[in-house]
């Protein structure tokens, strides 16, 4: 907090603008746990949002239903998707399943670890086995997704 | 065998519901299947107790895999090929038929392509049922016994097959009787390097498995129960047995086998990946009525170039497949093995030539091979491009992936050979 005040005191108009930006990023780093949220789709993708970056993968519920994962097909950095577009697939011995973009955006990063170790999806679906990081183009789309509680209920219904 | 002869009348009665079952078996969206209208095998409750994930297949409710410590398609598959181990499959959906009558061999050689007359007693072969166009109606394992011929056909096609047999019997007119064993007899398959060891636990003492050749069978007692049958054959490429028993004893016999910790209950998922590694066809996918034995790379079922059946023909559609001198007629497409692609290529994946510009065929079966840890597939390509080593492309998710024609089986088979 103290460093933010010094920055305000020394600022010209432009640097004040910069200072506000940097101070607000300091505020967000203090409050990062509050600002990161996880959203879910009915098709069992998750979407962890940090600022305007969405880290996307399939949920633990999905990996359990699919069985041993043997192959993951990922897009390339730079690829762009609209919400609900298929951006890749995840495959078991038996079948391939499309994975869909929960929100629209541009791919910043893909998880190369899944090329060599697709089974990571089974052991760490919601942790290490994220599929892509997307730079979101329309954060309002998050409003159409489920929160943790709603998703849990959705899974319970599906498992009848 | 204690089952009474189920003759024409029963078969005719079966056909009204049978065609519905046969059609539904081909329907890919099985979500329409009403659980209550599926037939349960004698092992249904046992499957559920073992953690079986039950799915509709050929009109029956069968486990696709088991949710258990050694379950899941991958684990079940790998177990089947592991030293000293074996896998137990419920294949009671398949059609078991016995043929009687003094003209049975003559009749059977009209409806299947193989040399049934030449089989010695207790010996069997893989054969194909053909239609008048030479197309394949079904594939079947036939074993000849002294007084009858035993035939096993696919579950999804059995009622359609029997309708066809009935029509052919009407035309043939001779002394032939078809006995469909219905669900009164159940069928289990035990496959793997440890299968002989495991099945010996339920065979009568003195039954010598070391001299029992692959593709032979005999009537026997199993776990002391009369009226059973054992055939050394299978669908995995491993040593194995198919055992038939009266339905009321199926659970006790299966349970006895499962007491052996080397035996693992195994579902349809692993059954499919195992047969694909072994280069074996799944009727309805790799074979259908529009495909003839030569296209299916199954000309060997008709015997070698100088064999009697090649020279004589005599089975339905023979003249469409064979030239008068017994040589094979040229075909436009052939079934081949495919490997080299990075992503699994599933059924209906389009196949293109090396340039990626011309479509030359389609994948009919594909998976990720648990043993090889890479994608494998089977499909049909233009005959000119069917040689092993031919470079091809597969259109997977809109992108061309390089692959090549390979030989099959993908994983070497380990069928049992009687020591010299």
Q: What's the pLDDT tens digit per position in B203-238?
A: 999 999 999 999 999 999 999 999 999 999 999 999
Give the pLDDT confidence score for residue A36 in this predicted structure.
72
Contacts of A94 in chain B (CB under 8 A): 64, 73, 269, 272-273, 367
Whether the Cβ atoms of residue B261 and residue B67 lie closer than 8 Å to each other: no
Supply the pLDDT for residue B359.
Answer: 98
B386 phi/psi in degrees, rounded to 5:
-100, 5
CA B198 to chain centre: 22
User: Over the stretch A130-160, which tens digit does the pLDDT of each residue have?
Assistant: 999 999 999 999 999 999 999 999 999 987 6
Chain A partners of B397 at a C-beta cutoff of 8 Å? 73, 89
* Interval B141-164 mean pLDDT: 98
Read off the pLDDT of residues B32-48 as tens digits, 9 standing for 90 and up.
456 679 999 999 999 99
Chain A: residue whose CA lies nearest to B347 = A95
Question: Which chain A residues are closer than 8 Å to B270 by Cβ?
Answer: 93
Give A94 to chain B, closest Cα distance, Å.
6
Q: Which residues of B5-34 are buried (b: 16+ CB within 10 A; e: fewer)?
A: ebeeeebeebeeebeebbebbeeeeeeebe
B65/A70 Cβ within 8 A: no
Q: How do residues A92-105 score in pLDDT, each as one tens digit?
A: 999 999 999 999 99
DSSP of B360-390: EEEEEEEEEETTTTEEEEEEEEEGGG-STT-
pLDDT at B2 over 80: no
Q: Which position has the higher pLDDT, A19 or A75?
A: A75
Q: Kindly identify which residue of chain A lies nearest to residue B345, measuring between CA atoms.
A: A96
* Chain A partners within 8 Å of B73 (Cβ): 67-68, 92-94
Reported as a single tens digit per residue, the pLDDT across B193-205 is: 999 999 999 999 9
What does each C-alpha distance from B287 to A2, B209, B307 come to in angstroms? 77, 33, 24
pLDDT in tens, A43-53: 999 999 999 99
Residue B4 has pLDDT above 60, yes or no: no
Q: Quickly state the pLDDT bin for A35 (edges 50, 70, 90).
A: low
For residue B39, what are the contacts with CB-CB under 8 A and spacing of at least 6? B21, B59, B60, B61, B93, B183
Burial A133-147 (b: 16+ CB within 10 A, else e): bbebeeeebbeebbe
d(CA A113, CA A42): 26
ipTM given for this complex: 0.82
What's the predicted TM-score (pTM) here?
0.87
The mean pLDDT value for B67-72 works out to 96
């Amino acid at each position: 907090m103290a460093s933010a005040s010094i920055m305000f005191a020394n600022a010209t108009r432009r640097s004040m603008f910069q200072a506000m930006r940097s101070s607000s990023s300091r505020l967000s780093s203090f409050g990062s746990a509050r600002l990161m949220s996880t959203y879910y789709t009915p098709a069992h993708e998750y979407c962890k949002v940090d600022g305007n970056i969405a880290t996307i993968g399939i949920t633990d519920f999905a990996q359990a239903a699919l069985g041993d994962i043997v192959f993951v097909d990922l897009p390339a950095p730079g690829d762009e998707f609209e919400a609900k577009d298929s951006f890749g697939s995840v495959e078991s011995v038996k079948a391939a399943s499309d994975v869909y973009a929960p929100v629209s955006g541009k791919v910043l990063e893909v998880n190369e670890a899944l090329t060599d170790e697709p089974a990571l999806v089974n052991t760490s679906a919601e942790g290490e086995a994220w599929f892509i990081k997307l730079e979101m183009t329309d954060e309002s789309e998050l409003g159409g997704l489920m929160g943790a509680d709603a998703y849990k209920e959705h899974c319970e219904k599906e498992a009848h | 065998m204690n089952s009474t002869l189920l003759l024409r009348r029963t078969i005719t009665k079966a056909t009204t519901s049978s065609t519905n079952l046969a059609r539904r078996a081909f329907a890919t969206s099985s979500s329409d299947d009403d659980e209550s209208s599926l037939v349960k095998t004698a092992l249904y409750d046992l499957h559920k107790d073992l953690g079986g994930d039950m799915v509709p297949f050929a009109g029956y409710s069968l486990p696709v895999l088991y949710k258990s410590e050694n379950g899941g398609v991958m684990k079940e598959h790998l177990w089947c090929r592991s030293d000293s181990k074996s896998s137990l499959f419920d294949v009671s959906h398949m059609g078991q038929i016995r043929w009687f009558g003094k003209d049975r061999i003559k009749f059977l050689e009209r409806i299947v392509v193989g040399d049934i007359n030449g089989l010695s007693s207790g010996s069997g072969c893989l054969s194909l049922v053909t239609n008048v166009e030479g197309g394949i109606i079904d594939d079947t394992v036939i074993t000849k016994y002294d007084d009858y011929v035993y035939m096993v056909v696919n579950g999804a096609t059995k009622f359609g097959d029997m309708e066809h047999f009935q029509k052919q019997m009407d035309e043939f007119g001779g002394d032939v009787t078809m006995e469909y064993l219905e669900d009164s007899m159940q069928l289990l398959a035990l496959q793997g390097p440890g299968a002989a060891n495991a099945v010996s636990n339920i065979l009568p003492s003195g039954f010598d498995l070391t001299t029992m050749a692959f593709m032979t069978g005999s009537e026997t007692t199993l776990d002391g129960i009369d009226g059973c049958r054992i055939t050394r054959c299978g669908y995995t490429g491993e040593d194995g047995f198919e055992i038939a028993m009266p339905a009321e004893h199926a659970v006790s016999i299966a349970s006895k086998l499962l007491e052996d910790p080397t035996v693992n209950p195994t579902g349809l998922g692993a059954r499919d990946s195992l047969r694909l590694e072994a280069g074996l066809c799944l009727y309805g996918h790799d074979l259908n009525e529009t495909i003839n034995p030569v296209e299916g790379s199954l000309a060997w079922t008709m015997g070698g170039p100088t064999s009697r059946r090649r020279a004589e023909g005599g089975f339905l559609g023979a003249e469409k497949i064979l030239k008068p001198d017994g040589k094979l007629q040229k075909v436009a497409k052939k079934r081949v093995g495919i490997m080299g692609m990075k992503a699994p290529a599933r059924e209906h994946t389009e196949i293109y030539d090396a340039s990626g510009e011309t479509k030359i065929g389609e994948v009919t079966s594909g998976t990720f091979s648990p043993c090889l840890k890479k994608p494998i597939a089977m499909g049909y390509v233009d005959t000119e491009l069917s040689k092993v080593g031919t470079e091809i492309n597969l259109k997977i998710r809109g992108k061309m992936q390089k692959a090549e024609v390979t030989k099959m089986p993908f994983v070497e088979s380990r069928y049992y050979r009687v020591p010299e």
